[in-house]
Amino acid sequence: MTGEFDVPKVEYALVLPLLVVFAGALIGVLIEALAPRVWRYQAQVGVAVSTLFAGLAATIQVGVGLEPLAGDVAARGDVVVEGALVVDGPSVFLWGVLLVLSLISVLLFAERRLEGGLTSFAGQAAALPGTDAERQASTRRIEHTEVFPLLMFAIGGMMVFVAAGDLLIMFVALEVLSLPLYLLCGLARRRRLLSQEAAMKYFLLGAFSSAFFLYGIALVYGYAGSFDLAAIDQAVSASTAGTPLLLAGIALIAVGLLFKIGAAPFHAWTPDVYQGAPTAVTGFMAACTKIAAFGALLRVFYVGFGGASWDWRPLIWIVAILTMVIGSLVAITQSDIKRMLAYSSIAHSGFILVGFVGLYAGSPAGEGLTSLSSVLFYLTTYGFSTLGAFAVVTLVRDAGGETTHLARWAGLGKTSPVLAGAFAFFLLAFAGIPLTSGFMGKWMVFAAAWAGGAWPLVIVAVLTSLVAAFFYVRVIVLMFFTEPGVDGPAVAVPSALTSSVIAVAVAVTVLLGVVPGPVLDLAQQAGAFVR
Amino acid sequence: MNEYTPILALLALGFGFGLFSVIISGFTGPKRYNRARLDAYECGIEPTPQPVGGGRFPVKYFITAMLFIVFDIEIIFLYPYAVAFDSLGLFGLVEMVLFISTVFIAYIYVWRRGGLEWD
Amino acid sequence: MLPAEAGGGVPVLPVEAEGLFSLLWLIVALPALGAVLLLLGGRAVNRLGHLVGTAMSAGSFVVALVLFIGLLGRGEEERQVQQQLWTWLEVGDYTVDMGLLFDPLSAVFVLLITGVGSLIHLYSIGYMVHDERRGRFFAYLNLFVAAMLVLVLADDYLAVFLGWEGVGLASYLLIGFWAHKQSAAVAAKKAFIVNRVGDLGMSLAVMAMVATFSTSSFVGVSAGMPEASSGIATALGLLLLLAACGKSAQVPLQSWLLDAMEGPTPVSALIHAATMVTAGVYLVVRSNFIYAEAPVAQVAVMVVGLVTLLFGAVIGCAKDDIKKALAGSTMSQIGYMMLAAGIGPAGYAFAIFHLLTHGFFKANMFLGAGSVMHAMDDDVDMRHYGALSRALPITFVTFAAGYLAIIGFPGFAGFWSKDKIIEAAFAEGWIFGVGALLGAGVTAFYMTRVMLMTFFGDKRWRPEVHPHESPSVITVPLMVLGALSVVGGVLLLGGWITHWLEPVTGPEGEHELFVSALVLTAMVTLTVAIGVAVAWVVFGRQSVPDSAPQRVSWLTRAARNDLYGDAFNEAVFMRPGQQLVRGLVYVDDKIIDASVGGLAALVSGSSGQVRRSQTGFVRSYALTMLGGALVAVVATLAVTLA
């Protein structure tokens, strides 16, 4: 039985950014295989930076060339690779943000000054903690330069994730982005048990959530008869009432995605993993994974299940409220800075969910402030400040590595005012104080949600952000208004890499707060999703 | 009700198969016990006790097993490609070369980093 | 009781800034530049910090004065000048321009802020002379002035909110400036948090505006208000009132102001007397076009004002700390302003008038108190003062001017402004009038008490204290402010202030009184005289005990405890909140972890196999996820199928 086969069409020019990133990752693997050990670090960093730059250039080129679609909704872009990917405004916007953030993360990964000339990743991950093998690895100054290709694989997966036009592709992308992250989480040079535990937890729970996601896909396929988001949309819109099959599918897919963004009650992994993972990786995860997962969430629910929004809206409402409340309240009692930031990131997921569920499509032409553009903007602002905050965390150290216990941060403002000032600034941005990007982001998201009629949710959001402000201020008080302890923290002098990460993050946080216009414009020009 | 009958059926079938296998093997299987038989993994790897005082955990077997999966998947893709070779033409060739080289890069990595050496 | 003329707010119709007025941005830019210079500059700048900071503030005042004179020379319809700076954000139809609006209302505020602000800068040069972080202090002062100017000059509610948060942040930095005092750090935090509650109202109000009018500019909102539903108008009015309560320390958000006295005294004068606390009054008056459509919200404003004016007055009676007594009085006086602002067009002008005169005499008295503390080695307890009129003659005379002004001694600034408010309150309703009158009597009582305990009676000085008059850099601002306290009333000459504000607030309108205004004035003066007399009997005729008596009435005890404001907050907000947090943390950490983790630990024995038990944690997490997923599916199904 040999049927004729239609040759599939692949728009190489439009998916060029993805190809570039994956090619860079593969080159990284080859370097790992072939280059002599002494050259690997330089080669890997060089390849990673140039790959991500090339990817960014390709993304900009693709973005400039996007054609506006004819139709009553402002959208630009195209469905490519036989429906597997959608290269539209939001995809390209998120690609750009992800690439810029990953570039910054590479700098953080590459920091070698803090550990006496080695990266902050385990020398030999296979060696058990506290053994001779481990000591040998560190005396021989071995380091895992695989982290750079792993980061690129993860970013590649995220880029596919946000652009997937098909649930199966989305699932594959989910795995492609997750597996490198699981590994990266377990590679801390210090406190390796904690780090390995984090990796294990993340892996187990991630696998668990993937199973939900997959099962949801199966149910939805059973309902719609297709994996294609556009086809699912047609099937959903055609019927007037949701059937149990579809609804269960939607709920399970939501669970899979809500896990990745760290929404309650699927948030339990977040504090443990954020605390255990190497801080550079935590920053990368907090910024990029969240952005990618929200990109996918937006696409699936706006495009695929948009017709059934009345059915899933209550679920997201409840999840959003739970997430905000748990995130901001539990953060208050945290005594570890990384855990506190983890809960704060949970709370922020809740705020973004508010924008997401506002479902405000803007003026009839879909122009201006929409839920989509506001969430895209928020993700951008949050990504930069959170990366900056974690970069600061890597610098506050004592003999045992980073000191993340809050009590040890007392009086930091006296001993190193610049660093503490930068951190305080990020905290203020998280709290949403005007003239920081955090304020603009919150403002956009809440305004869109309000305009979409979700005002009770907005009130809860503003109330919880009030509570959240409390623990941010608590840390600022601790840093500036408390006397440093006798064994106060030493702030390590970073190389230009980490310093520039913090500087860039501060600059972006200020810029997006004072003149958010250009980036907001970009987010709006992205237009709606293309189906 | 109609559309999820198959799913219920699948669920029932899944449970049924599990139960059936456990029960039937209990009845029919030979009951000759030896040490290897009682190990958690019947693969010759001792999960416990671990090397005294820490040290490395031997993962040779697992690496080989994972390599098998990688190449297995490669082969799985090669079969349908062979069937549709004519109609895919140049496009198919390009894509397959890309795919195989990707797997090949992984192979080089494993080979250079000593993944293929048993000892 | 409802204001008669509901409807018909005054739309904002500005003209473009040109010529001289294109310098408008300088007013904000100068102090902002000063703050940036001082914050980023190194030690060299720090040494000259006080001069740079004062120069920036004074420069801003000069520009403001020039523009004010320019405004005076313009026709009435051209007195709302707008300057566009840049487009802050543009989202489809919704645009927020960074623009400044210089109109009669903001003009008087700008003059007050930069004028009194400059005097306080000058004063601080002397007051902070021994502080090694003086440069930093001036940076914060400049930052505050810049933020406050943004607040009153912005032409869009969102930009107002920017200044609003800015002054909050600056006051937080200033209150906590002496952070080595634990109480100062706590007070700073409290001020910040309570202010955030007010900000909540502000941000919700702006969001509601955007949702209703697709704009948050004064022009747009004032144009759209007449068409808005009364529900929206009332909601906006109440939300803005909440915001005003936070900044202006009105009941129920009053509790931070008394604690804020931990900051350096110039801060108390600048922020907690003359400028920041009046932001709420500004907001209400500025939003007159909203309140015109929302009679219910107007009544709420009046009630808040009335309650606070009595509340603050009672607290003022019982405090032995001179600054806290003054702080109570500030609350009370702002209550008067809110009351007047709630009355509507008939009261707006008097609210602003009282705000100005209060800015003069209260700043004067705070700075005077600082001068006294300076002389008494930073002791703030009035029971340790007494008979200081000889030792500190200039401080005494200027303080007395402020005192006579605040109690409303005929001819002094406060007399004119307070009298007008009481008159308007009587026209609005008996209860408001009587409350305001009563407040005037109590004010006279506690201010006389402060006066007597500080400057008269016996010396109750601590042994090692040798009071001396402050240097001229401190006394000159006192003299200027003292003079203003005396003559501030001239603003009312020929109804100038009401006429001046008319383009913003609309015509005053007529009100009917049950007696002639003159008789009412006599009544007010009589009440004040009674207050003074009672205080004289209690504190002037007999000697003051030098530690606070413990056997006192419940009212005194309550007043000493700020009328249990903190206890209330604690019982109603903090404790339930803490319980909730504790519960959540417990559920998050303990119940799930312990039940499963504990089980795993039991299984693995107590051999300290930590990691084994941690797989238990993962299981418990997975269990939560499974539960969550189940609930999610069931809930989705239930919602639809129900």
Chain-chain contact of C622 with A205 (C-beta, under 8 angstroms): yes
CA–CA gap between residue C555 and residue A456 (Å, rounded): 41
* Cβ–Cβ contact A128 with C under 8 A: no
From the candidates A1, A6, A7, which should be mutated to test the interface with B, based on the most B CB atoms within 10 A?
A: A7
Give which of A286, A296, A298 is closest to A262, Cα–Cα: A286
Rounded alpha-carbon distances, angstroms, from residue A508 to A41, A514, C162? 28, 10, 18
- Mean pLDDT score of chain A: 87
Nearest to A29 among B83, B95, B109 (CB): B109
Q: What is the CATH number of the domain that holds B30?
A: 1.20.58
Minimum Cα–Cα distance from C621: chain A residue: A268
Which residues of chain C make contact with A480, given a CB cutoff of 8 A? 176, 179
Chain-chain contact of A520 with C90 (C-beta, under 8 angstroms): yes
For residue C87, the surrounding DSSP H or E stretch is: strand C81-91
Minimum Cα–Cα distance from C617: chain A residue: A201
Chains B and C touch (3+ CB pairs under 8 A): no
From the candidates B1, B2, B3, B97, which should be mutated to test the interface with A, based on the most A CB atoms within 10 A?
A: B3
> What's A66's DSSP letter?
P
Query: Quick one: three-class SS letters along C438-472?
Result: HHHHHHHHHHHHHHHHHHCCCCCCCCCCCCCCCCH
Cβ–Cβ contacts within 10 Å for residue A2, how many?
8
Please check whether residue B119 lies inside any domain of the structure.
no
Give which of A291, A425, A268, A275 is closest to A348, Cα–Cα: A291
Please check whether residue B9 lies inside any domain of the structure.
yes
Task: Please name the residues between 354 and 373 in chain A that touch chain C, using a CB distance below 8 Å.
Answer: 362-363, 367-369, 373
Nearest to C625 among A266, A428, A470 (CB): A266
Query: Can you give the pLDDT at residue C597?
Result: 40
Give which of A418, A302, A229 is closest to C40, Cα–Cα: A418
Q: Does residue C176 contact residue A413 with C-beta atoms inside 8 Å?
A: no
* Amino acid residing at A173: A
Query: Can you give the pLDDT at residue C161?
Result: 87
Nearest to A255 among C192, C581, C629 (CB): C629
| Chains contacting B (3+ CB pairs below 8 angstroms) | A
Which residues of chain C make contact with A444, given a CB cutoff of 8 A? 91
CA–CA gap between residue C237 and residue C209 (Å, rounded): 11
Please check whether residue B49 lies inside any domain of the structure.
yes
Task: Please name the residues between 57 and 116 in chain B that touch chain A, using a CB distance below 8 Å.
Answer: 57, 59, 83-84, 87-89, 91-92, 95, 102, 105-106, 108-109, 111-113
The residue assigned the tokens 């539209």 is: A88
Minimum Cα–Cα distance from A27: chain B residue: B105
**How far does chain B reach from its first CA to its final CA, in angstroms?**
58
Q: Bridge partners of A491?
A: A396
- Pairs of residues, one from chain A and one from chain B, whose beta carbons lie less than 8 Å apart: 61
* Cβ–Cβ contact A466 with C under 8 A: yes
Minimum Cα–Cα distance from B92: chain A residue: A7
**Band of residue A317 on the pLDDT scale cut at 50, 70, 90:** very high
Q: Does residue C456 contact residue C540 with C-beta atoms inside 8 Å?
A: yes
Query: Can you give the pLDDT at residue C611?
Result: 36
CA–CA gap between residue C152 and residue C145 (Å, rounded): 11
Give the mean pLDDT of C357-367.
88
| Chains contacting C (3+ CB pairs below 8 angstroms) | A
Please check whether residue B118 lies inside any domain of the structure.
no
**Res. C604: pLDDT tops 50:** no
CA–CA gap between residue B24 and residue B18 (Å, rounded): 10
Please check whether residue B66 lies inside any domain of the structure.
yes
Query: Can you give the pLDDT at residue A42?
Result: 92
Query: Can you give the pLDDT at residue C588?
Result: 56
Length of chain B: 119
Q: Does residue A159 contact residue A317 with C-beta atoms inside 8 Å?
A: no
Ramachandran category for residue C217: left, alpha or beta (phi over 0 → left; psi -120 to 50 → alpha) = beta
The residue assigned the tokens 């955030």 is: C196
Domain that holds residue B39: 5-113
* Cβ–Cβ contact A223 with B under 8 A: yes
Per-residue pLDDT tens over the stretch A7-35? 788 888 999 999 999 999 999 999 999 98
Chains A and C touch (3+ CB pairs under 8 A): yes
**Res. A368: pLDDT tops 70:** no
Per-residue pLDDT tens over the stretch C58-86? 999 999 999 888 888 887 777 888 888 87
Query: Can you give the pLDDT at residue A118?
Result: 83
CA–CA gap between residue C1 and residue C149 (Å, rounded): 35
Per-residue pLDDT tens over the stretch A410-424? 888 878 888 888 999
- Mean pLDDT score of chain C: 80
Per-residue pLDDT tens over the stretch A196-222? 888 988 998 999 999 999 999 999 998
Percent of chain A with pLDDT over 70: 96
Task: Please name the residues between 15 and 44 in chain A that touch chain C, using a CB distance below 8 Å.
Answer: none
From the candidates A1, A19, A29, A215, which should be mutated to test the interface with B, based on the most B CB atoms within 10 A?
A: A29
Q: Which residues of C35-48 are buried (b: 16+ CB within 10 A; e: fewer)?
A: bebbbebeeeebee
User: What's the sign of the alpha-carbon dihedral C142, A418, A284, A163?
Assistant: positive
Nearest to B83 among A2, A30, A32 (CB): A2
Q: How many domains does chain B have?
A: 1
**Band of residue A108 on the pLDDT scale cut at 50, 70, 90:** very high
Chain-chain contact of B3 with A245 (C-beta, under 8 angstroms): yes
Give the SS3 label for residue B1: coil
* Cβ–Cβ contact B9 with A under 8 A: no
Give which of C23, C20, C26, C25 is closest to C78, Cα–Cα: C20
The residue assigned the tokens 């009345």 is: A310
CA A130 distance to own-chain centroid: 33
Query: Can you give the pLDDT at residue B1?
Result: 53
**Beta carbons within 8 Å of C240's beta carbon, 6+ residues apart:** C201, C202, C205, C283, C284, C287, C290, C297
| Chains contacting A (3+ CB pairs below 8 angstroms) | B, C
CA–CA gap between residue A377 and residue A382 (Å, rounded): 9
- Of A218-222, C102-106, C606-610, the poorest mean pLDDT is in C606-610
Query: Quick one: three-class SS letters along A210-272?
Result: HHHHHHHHHHHHHHHCCCEHHHHHHHHHHCCCCCHHHHHHHHHHHHHHHHHHCCCCCCCHHHH
Chain-chain contact of B57 with A4 (C-beta, under 8 angstroms): no
**Band of residue C93 on the pLDDT scale cut at 50, 70, 90:** low
Give which of C469, C467, C313 is closest to C386, Cα–Cα: C467
Chain-chain contact of C179 with A369 (C-beta, under 8 angstroms): no
Please check whether residue B71 lies inside any domain of the structure.
yes
For residue A108, the surrounding DSSP H or E stretch is: helix A89-109
Per-residue pLDDT tens over the stretch C409-432? 888 888 888 888 888 888 888 888
Most confident of C342-351, C511-520, C557-566: C342-351
**Band of residue A241 on the pLDDT scale cut at 50, 70, 90:** low
Minimum Cα–Cα distance from C164: chain A residue: A434
Query: Can you give the pLDDT at residue B53?
Result: 54
Per-residue pLDDT tens over the stretch C250-277? 888 877 888 888 778 888 877 777 788 8
CA–CA gap between residue A187 and residue C43 (Å, rounded): 43
**Res. C360: pLDDT tops 70:** yes
Which residues of chain B make contact with A211, given a CB cutoff of 8 A? none
Q: Does residue C564 contact residue C558 with C-beta atoms inside 8 Å?
A: yes
Please check whether residue B99 lies inside any domain of the structure.
yes
E-only strand ranges, C303-375: none
Minimum Cα–Cα distance from B2: chain A residue: A245
Query: Can you give the pLDDT at residue C606?
Result: 33
Minimum Cα–Cα distance from A11: chain B residue: B91
Chain-chain contact of A369 with C91 (C-beta, under 8 angstroms): yes
Nearest to A470 among C161, C193, C614 (CB): C193
Cβ–Cβ contacts within 10 Å for residue B110, how many?
17
* Cβ–Cβ contact B6 with A under 8 A: yes
For residue C200, the surrounding DSSP H or E stretch is: helix C182-213
Q: Does residue A143 contact residue A123 with C-beta atoms inside 8 Å?
A: yes
Per-residue pLDDT tens over the stretch C4-57? 343 456 777 787 777 778 888 888 889 988 888 888 776 666 677 788 889 889
Please check whether residue B85 lies inside any domain of the structure.
yes
CA–CA gap between residue A372 and residue A369 (Å, rounded): 8
Give which of A305, A317, A247 is closest to A529, Cα–Cα: A305
